[in-house]
Amino acid sequence: MARTVVITGTSRGIGRELARQAAARGDRVIGTQRRGPAPEGVELRLADVTDPQAIGALARSLAPGPVDLLVCNAGIYLGRGRIGEAAFPPEAWAQTFAVNVAGVFMTIEAMLPLLERAERPRIAIISSQMGSSARARGGAYIYRASKAAATNLAVNLSIDLRPRGIAVGAYHPGWVRTDMGGSGAEIDPAESAAGLLARFEALDLSRSGCFEMWNGAPIPF
Ligand SMILES: NC(=O)c1ccc[n+]([C@@H]2O[C@H](COP(=O)([O-])OP(=O)(O)OC[C@H]3O[C@@H](n4cnc5c(N)ncnc54)[C@H](OP(=O)(O)O)[C@@H]3O)[C@@H](O)[C@H]2O)c1
């Protein structure tokens, strides 16, 4: 039976390629975007992840489920640079945490009843190794703090959702050639997405709470 996969932020970049590849392997894929069109073979739901009403409507449109895999991919990267050289205004903090942290949590919370109806439900949070304190390099404080929070969310939810049979993982997609990663990045979205989809396949309760690279290497947190 085809699995149902929900991916946030499929308008471009890694999310678009994840959706395209999952649809190509035969999954039913629902992509959430702020604007269309969806990738080929992907069902479009218009939703901004910072809008609780839109997230609620997304969940209602898919009720009663099951949803086998939820991928929280939508993200933004504001405030590049180092203190003294770049600006880090309060609006950038608020907007980044609204998308990269609260948006992830609200999406998961809304989708839980649908995930619970799956045989082997999984949640993948696209975080970043830039949120790892063990790999701190300075700069980009807003983004790094938001991704540290996103990974922290994955670890804590893995504890609370274990009794409900739901596995949760956090993933670094690599440094990827997208609008966010830039043209000088190391890998293309196709390579990242293929690696990530393989990691999501490997995710089960024994691995729940993991923080991994797109190629499976563990990341110290
Ligand atoms: N690229 C990298 O090297 C890299 C490295 C580490 C982690 N990541 C993470 O990987 C994920 C995808 O990154 P990417 O490189 O593909 O970035 P991207 O090319 O900038 O695409 C970001 C996606 O997120 C969506 N999005 C942003 N804010 C949203 C909101 N409020 N509601 C719904 N969708 C929203 C965008 O939609 P719109 O088109 O509407 O803006 C777009 O589809 C992000 O979480 C990012 O932090 C990327």
CA-174 nearest atom, ligand 1: 5
150: nearest Cα among 82, 94, 72, 90: 72
Q: Which protein residue has the closest C-alpha to ligand 1 atom 42?
A: 9
Closest CA to 3 of 119, 170, 165: 119
Examine residue 220 and say whether the peptide bond preceding it is cis (omega within 30 degrees of 0). Answer: no
pTM of model > 0.95? yes
Tens of each residue's pLDDT in the chain, 221 residues: 689 999 999 999 999 999 999 999 999 999 999 998 999 999 999 999 999 999 999 999 999 999 999 999 999 999 999 999 999 999 999 999 999 999 999 999 999 999 999 999 999 999 999 999 999 999 999 999 999 999 999 999 999 999 999 999 999 999 999 999 999 999 999 999 999 999 999 999 999 999 999 999 999 99
Ligand 1 within 6 A of CB of 17? no
> How do 4-8 and 69-72 pair as beta strands?
parallel
Ligand 1 centroid distance, CA of 163 (Å): 31
Contact 141, 79 (CB under 8 A): yes
- Residue 66 CA to ligand 1 center (angstroms) comes to 26
* Tokens representing residue 210 in the block: 């993991």
Q: How far is the CA of 8 from the centre of ligand 1 (A)?
A: 9
CA 107 to chain centroid: 10
Q: Is the CB of 73 under 6 A from ligand 1?
A: yes
Burial of 168 (C-beta count, 10 Å sphere; 0-12/13-18/19+)? buried
Ligand 1 center to residue 74 CA distance, Å?
5
> Which is the catalytic residue, given 77, 141, 143, 171?
143
**Ligand 1 pocket residue status of 132, Cβ below 6 Å:** no
What tokens were used for 145? 């703090």
Q: What is the CATH number of domain 4-213?
A: 3.40.50.720
Residue nearest to atom 32 of ligand 1 (CA): 48
Catalytic site includes residue 171: no
In which element (H, E) is residue 213 found? strand 211-213
Any atom of ligand 1 within 6 Å of the Cβ of 215: no
Phi-psi region of 165 (alpha: psi -120 to 50; beta: other; left: phi over 0): left
H or E segment and range at residue 55: helix 52-62
Q: How far apart are CA 143 and CA 105, in angstroms?
A: 17
Residue 99 near residue 76, CB atoms below 8 Å:
yes
